[in-house]
Structure 1
Amino acid sequence: MLWLHLSNITYVARLTGIPRTEYETFILALQKRNAGEKIKFCTYCADRGFIELGTQEVNDIVHRFESIQRDGLNHYYAHEQSKRKKQRCLKNFCKRRWNKTKLSIQKRIHVLNRYFNKFYYPFSQGDTIISVGLNINSKDMNELAYIKQKKSLYIKVFCHDIIPISHSGLVTKEAHEKFTAYFQKLAKIADFFYCNSYYTQSELKNYLKKNNCKVPPIEVVPLGSDIKIVNSMQNVNESIKKVLAEKFLLFVSTIEIRKNHQVLYEAYSSLIDRKIENLPKLLFVGQKGWMVDDLLKKLSKDERVQGKIVIFNDVTDNELALLYQHCLFTLYPSFVEGYGLPIAESLAYGKYCLAANTSSLTEVGQDFIDYLDPTNVQAWVDKLEFLLCYPEYIKNKENKICRCYCHNPWNRSAQIILGK
């Protein structure tokens, strides 16, 4: 039996990076299961261990993301907030307290059952378990290690990157420690790895050898970048509608120190000081992440960039597609990546990208785009000024992209992961 372990999409609302990879694999696996193939879904619960997800639970995941796409994230968050508000009322207080206490008791019972080898799991001898997501707060890999002592399981894991270990200065201390502990356990039980790039594959091999772990088979699976052409403005945020009518540059990424929004802030500030005519807006599209409080404070207080650098979070797939379709070009100055999905998405939409010359980014962008040192602010200033003054250069680049670039559909990535 083939099991797909869901560790992210059971609780997230935004399909970015790792959750997107897990979701697309899940959708293809569901299609295959409905066509008669032997595929089951499972997830890990702290109080019960690994459990099989039934038809209703699987359908709930599909419907949740369909409703988010249809109605927008704001509608989803409003609905969730309304639910929480009802739960706060006095009559539900005791129930919530009891549920919390019960959960704590169940967790302890599960730990005891595991200690006495009496815990439940749905797997059988010889089953294959594929884990595409990643949840460093979960004990799922610890649990799999226990189960693997009892059953002969073949465990296939997707390694998106090991950046919290290899570049610990770009994440919080807590994230570094949690990821390191999680990955140490994962590395010991994995029989097969998928990696999203040859860069990640090389980093993974070096880590395994350095830590005296076995080096199992590793297959590189480039991530998907499906093209979604959107013409309707239905359910599009009013602020985004307004931006779509103007000229703008696009940087799609979680706003965290590793992604290097700082170099674009400094470069754009310099362009504003140079009084470049008709300077387009610069859009940062993504949620707030680690270690960017100082940057966000600067953006809010620097009068030069007010109305020029705009942040959007909670963007739906349709809204993101519209932004890709209408931007002048995209930017991606990240210090290090496991893959660099927004570059692949930019190219899939036929859009030129100016990116950092680091890690996997040159692998993803190939010779279709240009690259700069992510630490050289002046290089970004000069290149941006050139691109804005000579749009024919971008047009020539995009003509080549449209002629020669072949995007990798998510379906193909998922097919490789599922081994079908």
Structure 2
Amino acid sequence: MTPVSYLLDISRLLARADYAVPTGIDRVELSYAQYLLTHKREQSYFCAMHPVGIAGGIPTPLAEEMIEALAAKWGGSTVSTSASRLKRKIRRKILYSPLPKKPRIVHILVSHHHLTRPRVIRNILKRTGAKFVPILHDLIPLEYPEYARPGEPARHAVRVQTILDYAAGIIFPSHAVRDAFMPYMEKHSRQIPVGLVPLGVNVKKEEDLLPPTLACPSRPYFVCLSTIEPRKNHLLLLQAWRRLAEQLGDRAPVLVVIGKRGWENENIVDLLDRCPSLKGHVLEYNELPDQDVIHLLKNCRALLFPTFSEGFGLPLAEAFSFGVPVLCSDIPVLREVGAGIADYLDPLDGPAWIEAILDYTTNSARRRDQIQRINYWKPFTWESSIVGTLDSVCEFKLFN
């Protein structure tokens, strides 16, 4: 029997090639591309959508060059190959490059890129004869429109409809997302096979990392790792830190905020930029290479994750992979991903967060107990995650 082939869409990687640091979804798409090149090279093909709305194939050597350049750039290396130059070269090529047409081929879309353009998806499937298997990371714009950019709920509704119209199978990163999606299938009388595959983490050894370029704060410190936007609830942490700074002065712990500034965040930015009480107590880094993020994370008292909603919660898994305790919101998806190991707090209960932060500033029993619990947590690597997706594709029985 002819083996299944895989057509991976790397449109998001192209769109993000000019950025200094990746987002969580960027890392997902990059990890899939690296795995397929390493383990399924003869069965793997790559494609992308040009901004004008035309999709085309990417020769494997060129895709590999781009993926290696991005991995090096986002890993903090000085690279001779320009990811931006490769992006331009690939975009010129895909305007004229054919898509592969194989008897048993699956089109995998790891990001939500161009799900708002159903004609592009339909055109790819028509030209390749492929079965479409996307990953749906969350339904947050529909469940919590107050945390989305203007117009995003309507765009996400189109993404959901595109999946309902064209998907032959769907991968979800958590029970929470799968359960939220099931009513949409029922409403549209669709029975699409689904797979539940947690996202992976990069478990890096010390010797594999470049040396860090910055030092950790001299005082005990905590890390918040996420895009600065209302849904992530940075406001709770900044208000807590203002209280800690006013009460403890130079004895207060330090808050290290790592993440790019997002949208609808004026109140948060006002505090970061102009609040006198936070000066010297809150450090903000918008673009850090991996080795610096890991260095700060591994040496902090705890990761703080007071988010209101998530599709998975990758920072929690990344912290646990380094043995770092986590204080996070008590929401179902984080209990699922964290296996009940983290310390869970109401994302609106400021006094409870201050109490927990003070506990974790010292070598308290509360902190020691969580570190012991983390020893029982087993990281889900990217290899096991991607193998899980490919196994689900087989279980979907997409071909006769």
SS in 1 for 2:354: helix
> Which structure has more RCO (C-alpha within 8 Å, separation ≥ 6)?
1
CA distance in 2, matches of 1:387, 1:235: 27
- Which residue type is aligned with residue 227 of structure 1? V
* 1:172 Cα deviation after fit: 1.3
SS in 1 for 2:198: coil
Work out whether residues 227 and 259 of structure 2, in 8 Å CA contact, stay in contact via their aligned partners in 1: yes
Aligned to 2:184: 207
Are residues 65 and 147 of structure 1, via their aligned partners in 2, closer, same or farther at CA, if it must alter by over 3 Å? closer
| 1:351 aligns to 2:324 (yes or no) | yes
CA distance in 2, matches of 1:415, 1:193: 15
- Which residue type is aligned with residue 106 of structure 2? T
Are residues 339 and 325 of structure 1, via their aligned partners in 2, closer, same or farther at CA, if it must alter by over 3 Å? same
- Which residue type is aligned with residue 136 of structure 2? C
CA distance in 2, matches of 1:355, 1:48: 40
* 1:48 Cα deviation after fit: 6.8
CA distance in 1, matches of 2:124, 2:223: 46
SS in 1 for 2:366: helix
- Which residue type is aligned with residue 155 of structure 1? F
Q: What RMSD, in angstroms, separates the aligned Cα atoms of the two structures?
A: 3.0
Are residues 48 and 195 of structure 1, via their aligned partners in 2, closer, same or farther at CA, if it must alter by over 3 Å? closer
Are residues 143 and 137 of structure 1, via their aligned partners in 2, closer, same or farther at CA, if it must alter by over 3 Å? closer
Q: TM-score, normalised by structure 2?
A: 0.85
- Which residue type is aligned with residue 7 of structure 2? W
SS in 1 for 2:56: strand
| 1:171 aligns to 2:148 (yes or no) | yes
* 1:126 Cα deviation after fit: 4.4
> Could you list the per-position Cα deviations for residues 3-48 of structure 1 after superposition, in whole angstroms to 9, with x for gaps in the alignment?
11222112324333211111111111001234xx422111122447
> Could you list the per-position Cα deviations for residues 101-143 of structure 1 after superposition, in whole angstroms to 9, with x for gaps in the alignment?
xx9xx99xx9xxxxxxxx964334542111111225863x422
Which residue, 7, 25, 28 being the options, matches 2:11? 7
Work out whether residues 338 and 359 of structure 1, in 8 Å CA contact, stay in contact via their aligned partners in 2: no
Aligned to 1:158: 135
| 1:249 aligns to 2:227 (yes or no) | no
Work out whether residues 105 and 130 of structure 2, in 8 Å CA contact, stay in contact via their aligned partners in 1: yes
SS in 1 for 2:337: helix
Work out whether residues 104 and 130 of structure 2, in 8 Å CA contact, stay in contact via their aligned partners in 1: yes
In terms of Rg, which structure is larger?
Answer: 1
1:95-110 map, 5 Å: none
Which residue, 130, 146, 167 being the options, matches 2:108? 130
Are residues 191 and 48 of structure 1, via their aligned partners in 2, closer, same or farther at CA, if it must alter by over 3 Å? same
SS in 2 for 1:242: coil
* 1:357 Cα deviation after fit: 0.7
Aligned to 2:45: 40
Aligned to 1:189: 166
CA distance in 2, matches of 1:368, 1:221: 20
SS in 2 for 1:268: helix
Work out whether residues 331 and 353 of structure 1, in 8 Å CA contact, stay in contact via their aligned partners in 2: yes
* 1:286 Cα deviation after fit: 0.6
CA distance in 2, matches of 1:411, 1:232: 17
CA distance in 2, matches of 1:151, 1:39: 13
1:200-349 map, 5 Å: 200-210=177-187, 212-230=188-206, 236-237=212-213, 241-243=214-216, 245-275=218-248, 278-349=251-322
Identity of aligned residues (%): 21
CA distance in 2, matches of 1:220, 1:339: 12
* 1:235 Cα deviation after fit: 6.1
**Structure 2: gaps (5+ residues):** 395-400
CA distance in 2, matches of 1:143, 1:69: 29
Which residue, 383, 393, 396 being the options, matches 1:411? 383
- Which residue type is aligned with residue 11 of structure 1? A
CA distance in 1, matches of 2:73, 2:283: 23
Work out whether residues 355 and 370 of structure 1, in 8 Å CA contact, stay in contact via their aligned partners in 2: yes
Work out whether residues 287 and 314 of structure 1, in 8 Å CA contact, stay in contact via their aligned partners in 2: yes
CA distance in 2, matches of 1:18, 1:213: 30
Aligned to 1:198: 175
SS in 2 for 1:186: helix
| 1:16 aligns to 2:23 (yes or no) | yes
User: How many corresponding residue pairs?
Assistant: 379
Q: TM-score, normalised by structure 1?
A: 0.81
* 1:298 Cα deviation after fit: 1.8
